[in-house]
Amino acid sequence: MATTAGKDMTDKNYWSQLASRGLGRFLVLAALHERPRHGYELARAVTAGCDGCCEPSDAMIYPTIRELTEGGYITCRTEAQGQRERKVCELTDKGREAYRTAANVWKAVLPGLHNAIEAGISLEAREERVEQEVLV
C-alpha cells in the first residue's frame, strides 16, 4: 500500500481531499469575486465553480471564512433575512488582489498539470497496447 504519513495515496479520497484543501481558499475567493455571498451560497458557488469536483462542507467553508476575515481578505456583515440572520461576506481590496494573484498562479500551473495527466494517460494506454500485443 502506497502511503505518506499514514495516508493511502492509492485511495481516490486522499487525492480529492488534497485537491479540496489546495483549491478551497481560491474557490472561495473566486466566488466572492463575483459578488458578496453568505456561507451556504458560498458552498454552492464553490461546487458550481469547479463543476462539482469539490463539494465543500461547513467544516471547510466556515474556517476558510474565518481565516480570510482574520487576514483582511474579506469582511462580513450580518443581514436580517426574515427572522434569520445571515453573515454576508465580500472581498476587500486585499482580497481582490489575492484573487488576481491566485488566478494568475493557477492559470500558469494548470497547463503543466494537464500535460502531466495527459502524458500519464498516454503512457498507460501504450503500456496496455503492448500488453495486449504480447498476449496475442
CATH number at residue 110: 1.10.10.10
* Tens-place pLDDT, residues 27-75: 999 999 999 999 889 989 988 877 766 777 778 888 999 999 999 999 9
Q: In Å, how far are 97, 122, 135 from 117, measured between CA atoms?
A: 30, 9, 27
Q: Is the pLDDT of residue 11 over 60?
A: yes
Residue labelled with grid coordinates 474556517: 63
Instruction: From 66, 76, 75, select the one nearest 25 (Cα to Cα).
Output: 66
Residue 82: give the domain boundaries: 3-135
- Residue 30 C-beta-side C-alpha neighbours within 13 Å: 17
In terms of DSSP bridges, do strands 74-81 and 7-8 run parallel, antiparallel, or are they unpaired? unpaired
Q: What is this structure's pTM?
A: 0.75
Contact 56, 20 (CB under 8 A): yes
Which strand (E) or helix (H) includes residue 86? strand 84-91
User: How many domains does the chain divide into?
Assistant: 1
pLDDT band at 136; cut points 50, 70, 90: low
